[in-house]
Amino acid sequence: MGVLVFSYRHIEYFVTTIEEGSISAAAKKLGVSSQAISKAINDMEESLGRPLFTRKSSGLKPTPFGASLLRKGRKVLSETEDFERYARGLSSGKKKTARFLLCAPKFANFHHVSERISTFIEKFTDLDVELKRASAEDCIEKLAIGAIDAFVTIGKTDLPQFDVSAIDLIEVGALMAKGHPYARKAALTLEDFIRVPLFFTPTFSFFSDTINEAVMPESSLPAKPWLKPLDMSIHGIFGALVREAGCVVMPNIHGVDNWLPETCVVPFDESELARVPLNLVTDKVYKTYACKALERLLVERNIDGAHFDVEEKPRLNF
C-alpha cells in the first residue's frame, strides 16, 4: 500500500466514473483524456491496496469497497463545490442556480406555482431557482445521481434513502366541471363518491398513494368510494370530467383551481380527508450548496411543519 495522497481530481474522476459507468464516458463528461482518468484510478487503487472497480466487457462496476467510498466522495465534492461557489459569489456578486423538481401531475397554472415558489426562495436566499415538474420516478432517479439539488412532494413520502422534511400541510380537493352538481357544495365527503367516480393520477404517486391509503380502509360507509386511475391525455381527462361526470382528487392549492378551463376545485371536509404533507426531499449525505441554503431557510424562518407566505412568514398561498 502506497502513501494515501488524493487530490480533488482523483475523487472527481473516481465518482464520475461510477456515475457514468465507464472511463470513456467520464472523460467525455469532464473534458479530459481517458488516460488521465485511468491513471488517477490506478494511483488510488495502488495507494489503497484494494481494487475500486471490476473490469467487464460492459464497462466498469464498482467493487463493494469502491461503492462504499462513493457517498463520502460525493460529500467531499459537494463541500468543495460549496466553498468554490461561495468564494466566487462573494467576488462576482452572482447568484447560484438551484435545481429543484416538483413531483406533481400536469396542470395549466404550473408556471404560476413555479414562479411563486421561486420568488419565495430567491427572496430569502442567494439562489436563482430552476423549478420543473417531474414524475416520482424521475425525481428519485435524478436526486440519486446528483442531477438535482432536491425535490418537493405532496403526500406521505417514505424514502429511507433520503432526508424528508415536512414543510406544510395541503388541503385535499376534487377537480370537476363547473356545471357538476358538487360544484355548489362547500365541502365534499367520501360518501359523495360511492356512485360518482373519483379519479386519481397514477404518476403523481406520493399524493395518490396517500389518498388511496386514507380512503380504502373507510368502514363506516355503505360502500367503498369509487376510485379510478386517470388517463392524463386530453381525451382521458375530458372523458373523466364530462362523459363520466366524475371528479379528480388533487391538492387544493390556491391559484391552481383553474387547472383546466371551465373547471373548479371543491375542498374535502378535513374530517373525511385530512390535509396531506408538503415535503422537501434531499440526499442524506451529498448536500449541495443550494440544498443546504434551502434547509437553512426552512429552519431559520421556522417553516418546518408550519404555514408560510411568499411575502413574509405564515403561509405560502399559491
Q: Which of 59-68, 83-92, 195-204, 218-227 has the lowest mean pLDDT?
A: 83-92
Has residue 196 been placed in a domain?
yes
* Mean pLDDT, rounded, of the chain: 80
CATH of the domain at 228: 3.40.190.10
Q: Indicate whether 164 and 153 sit together in one domain.
A: yes
Has residue 188 been placed in a domain?
yes
Q: Indicate whether 115 and 230 sit together in one domain.
A: no
Indicate the burial class of 223 (C-beta count within 10 angstroms; 0-12, 13-18, 19 or more). Answer: exposed
Structure confidence at residue 221 (pLDDT): 60
Structural domain harbouring 186 = 172-267
Q: Indicate whether 32 and 15 sit together in one domain.
A: yes
Q: Indicate whether 74 and 196 sit together in one domain.
A: no
Has residue 309 been placed in a domain?
no
Question: Phi/psi at 266 (nearest 5 deg)?
Answer: -110, 130
Domain count within the chain: 3
Q: How big is the chain by its Cα radius of gyration, in Å? A: 24
Q: Indicate whether 129 and 203 sit together in one domain.
A: no
Has residue 317 been placed in a domain?
no
- pLDDT per residue as tens digits for the range 274-310: 888 888 898 887 778 888 888 777 776 554 433 433 3
pLDDT at 45 exceeding the cut of 80: yes
Q: Indicate whether 159 and 296 sit together in one domain.
A: yes
Contact yes or no for 83/133 (Cβ under 8 A): no
